[in-house]
A and B are shown apart, each in its own frame.
Chain A
Amino acid sequence: MQSWIPFPDSASTFSGQVDALYLFMVGVTTFFVLLISAVIIFFIIRYRRQLPFEIPRPIAGSLKLESLWTIIPFIISMGIFVWGASLVVTQYHVPKDALEVYVVGKQWMWKFQHLTGQREINELHVPVGRKVKLVMTTEDVIHSFYVPAFRTKSDVVPGRYTYIWFEATKPGRYHLFCAEYCGTNHSGMTGSVVVMEPSDYENWLSGNANQESPVAAGQRLFTETLGCASCHKEDGTGGRGPALTGLLGSTVLLDGGQSVTANEDYIRESILNPRAKLVRGFQPIMPTFQGQVSEEQLLQLISYIKSLSPGKTSGIETSAPARSNNPQTGPATSATPAAGPQQTNPSGATPPKPASSPGTTPATRTGGGRP
């Protein structure tokens, strides 16, 4: 927007909501600053000192006034609190039907991989009008993924996954900034988010199609490179490792009686530090893969393991409650992992069709596959 007041582009469904709260608060602030300034200016003119030693009549105070200017600011600030909190729930509650993109930050670049295989650096192509979810981590220090035109941001933290989602509303090229100081070239860790009309986006996808999808790459790692499949058999037989079919989003009972909901962070931890959360009924025999898999390979492995749980695009539940205005499902998604990798897979592997019937993920898993 070019106007005499500098104002950022608005290009996502959040932009208007954030701007509304911002402008409301600008209004409240202006009102109070003007009110206090006007009162002070009136007082300092009206009650300017006229005689050097004059002693004005003391006023002790007024409980009525004190209550008034405690309660009114409290009510206003509580209103803003509720408004801000409900807004952040929308911002961080990732819808289930979002198109997923993996993001890895590293000093000083942004690496993206689409589920359909396309890889990008410092440039992210997304279609207009589609919910896009980013699964983000970093190879080194903390970064922060920030697109001002979308009014959204999240730190990208080593050792865990963070999520962000947005729905772009206007085609164009928008700034992508790293907002968390990350070292020498922090201010150079910038890029663009390119929002395209759906048809342009399809063209862009097909023009960059001959890359291995993360699911396929993950499967190759799983079955060949790392040999995970020798213990984690598809049907759970063998008893050395739990089957991973339908894992995502389920509740896993652990050795020691606790349980954990299987999400990306859990899978990641179990690969890098298998003994941290041992599944009940299994021996701690899995070696650590710390240092053997890169962040991108981890995301590919997770992507593959997720593809074994159809109907679940993500194991994460933001801690925020689901909102009732979210159920309008977006356009049929090519983001579901089973549909994604069909375009190309140089290794020739097709994504495995899960053995269990879709949608009937067992709520609770134990090491029941033992002989």
Chain B
Amino acid sequence: MDTRTTSAPFEPVTPTNYRVNYLNARYGIASWLLTKDHKRIALLYLGSVTLFFLLGGIYAMAIRLELLTPQGDLVESNTYNKVFTQHGILMVFFFLIPAIPAVLGNFLVPIMIGAKDLAFPKINLLSWYVYVVGGIFTLWALVSGGVDTGWTFYAPYSTTYSNSYVTLAGLGVFINGFSSILTGLNFIVTIHTMRAPGMTWFRLPLFIWSHYATSLVMILGTPVIAITVLLLALERTARIGIFDPQLGGDPVLFQHMFWFYSHPAVYIMILPSMGVISELIANFSRKNIFGYSFVAFSSIAIAVFGFLVWGHHMFVSSQSLYAGMVFSFLSFAVAIPSAVKVFNWTATLYQSSISYDTPMLYALGFIGLFTIGGMTGLFLAAMGLDVHVHDTYFVVAHFHYVMVGGTLMGYLGGLHYWWPKISGRMYPEGWGRFAALVVFVGFNLTFFPQFLLGYMGMPRRYHMYAPEFQVLNVMSSAGASILGLGVLMPMIYLIWSMRYGRVAAANPWMLPGLEWRTASPPPTENFEVTPVVTWEAYEFAPPEELQVIGKFEPGDRPDYPPATV
């Protein structure tokens, strides 16, 4: 029996271009730099995050170029060490951590819960300025001569031996942390207090649940990295003797403190992406998420357990073997909620209506890559195996599968999905699909060979390597150039589409979420009247039944489907 219902097709209406929205409400530099509108702040973040991503990407290209040959023939060892350090610092602290929460989260958290803005709009703007100041300090360190400690800043190399600009870069990371804390605080208060009438906790889109979990980690974890970096700076300048054994300190204590934040930070990077993927999977298969509450609570479980597994970075660091076993056990436990999510996403597709639009391609790619990334995490959590692959390219491959295959895919997928809402224009679908494919292929070619390299024993952060590792390194470098092209394409066509793209309707995908029940782009106050939510999350309805909030211009009539169904 066919249980699907359909509705009569709509007559496309020629859209008009003019409407007052958050983009054209005010003009001038000051209207952007002093804005309290969460949507404009999201765009400020989008610009700055993209800048740091490009810079980090250039460093990545330099690494891959150098590793084409076993000899160190492109740059000197010192330069190479700075290149991979700066790649790591920029990508982790200035792209991966803020990317989804600060850009997509900032834009969408208030709209998706039916609020006019975040709870503290001025603090939201402050968080962007803090981010920029942190970024300037880090860039200053880079321009002055760079940092060569690795993004992990391990003592006592960082405290005593490195002659590079560790304190300055550390200061940048320290300041940047406050931006995270402010954003997390803002999200938690907003989600608790500003949900529209009828928007109960279990009607929240899963994007909101995962941002809630992320915010918990941000405000509980980030202070610890701040303390750690502060102690590191004090150790370098005042020789206080907390990490350097020559002064009576303990270098392994640094690793405990560093990973106490930096492992949960991994979840700051991946949880928002999981939220995006839940949205994409549900909306592009027009089906409610299978096991909504399991997916929602698995985010919380990941956030909580994520705080208890930091020691799995330290199995070979002279940490007690028994402590290692506890960390190993908990690391296996934290894998379960991630597995639950993957199974639920897959089950959501059963008897659904799947479109092959660009965001969905990213979402499907995410599931595959994240599964590999997550499963190879189990290799590293298994202590006896970690002894061999720890600090090799296996680890590099694993966390790129999670960070790039997970976070970047989710970020790009989300950016495409909400692009009509953000910009009021459609991105070019053909280019979008092509770029998604190029990213997927390039990514796998870059990072899969690194698993093999790691098991063969090539240590990470090696400027020169043994000749038998060359073939796989060349494959990886070739993949990196494809991946680089793949991520450049969206940057170009998304900017192009802001001017030349097809004008987007309010609800181009015909979806029930609140963000699709306001204009594209939304007005400054998001909704002209406060929405009252009477529907469940992912409760799909025929287009004519989708209640529209606020006043719509004629051009906002749905003109779905696009030409490509």
Contact = CB atoms under 8 A, between A and B. Distances in A.
Contact-residue size bin, chain A (C-beta under 8 Å from the other chain): 35 or more
Given A84-B381, A85-B384, A144-B391, 4 more contacts: A44-B356, A49-B355, A56-B353, A73-B339
Contacts of A61: 290-294, 344
A142 B367 contact: no
A273 B241 CA distance: 14
Given A54-B6, A55-B4, A84-B381, A180 B154 contact: yes
B464 A153 contact: no
A86 B385 contact: no
A239 interface: no
A60 to B, nearest CB: 7
Contacts of A185: 77
Given A52-B561, A182-B157, A319 B320 contact: yes
A186 B367 CA distance: 36
Interface in A136-191: 140-142, 144, 146, 148-149, 151-155, 157-160, 162, 175, 177-188, 190
15 contacts: A25-B382, A33-B372, A33-B375, A53-B6, A53-B9, A56-B540, A66-B340, A88-B321, A88-B386, A107-B161, A141-B157, A158-B245, A181-B152, A186-B463, A187-B463
A65 interface: yes
A320 interface: yes
B285 A47 contact: yes
Interface of B: 3-7, 9, 72, 77-78, 81, 148-150, 152, 154, 156-157, 160-162, 245-246, 248, 250-252, 285-288, 290-294, 315-318, 320-322, 324-325, 328-329, 332-333, 335-336, 339-340, 342-344, 346-347, 349-356, 364, 367-368, 371-372, 375-376, 378-379, 381-388, 390-392, 452-453, 455-457, 459-466, 468, 471-472, 510, 538-543, 560-561, 565
A51 B312 CA distance: 49
Contacts of A332: none
Nearest to A79: B332
Contacts of B332: 77-78, 80-81
Contact of A81 (B328, B349, B541): B328
Given A52-B9, A319-B321, A74 B378 contact: no
Contacts of A29: 372, 375-376, 378-379
Contact of A157 (B4, B77, B251): B251
Contacts of B248: 273
B383 A88 contact: yes
A154 B318 contact: yes
Interface in A2-50: 5-8, 17-18, 21-22, 25, 28-29, 32-33, 36-37, 39-40, 43-44, 47-50
B59 to A, nearest CB: 16
Contacts of B386: 84, 88
A91 interface: yes
A155 B385 contact: no
A331 interface: no
Nearest to A185: B77
B456 A53 contact: no
A87 B328 CA distance: 13
A142 B159 CA distance: 12
A54 B353 contact: yes
Nearest to B451: A26
B510 A52 contact: yes
Nearest to A61: B291
Given A69-B343, A158-B251, A18 B384 contact: yes
Given A29-B376, A87-B384, A179-B391, A43 B318 contact: no
Given A153-B316, A187-B462, A65 B347 contact: yes
B565 A47 contact: no
Nearest to A276: B248
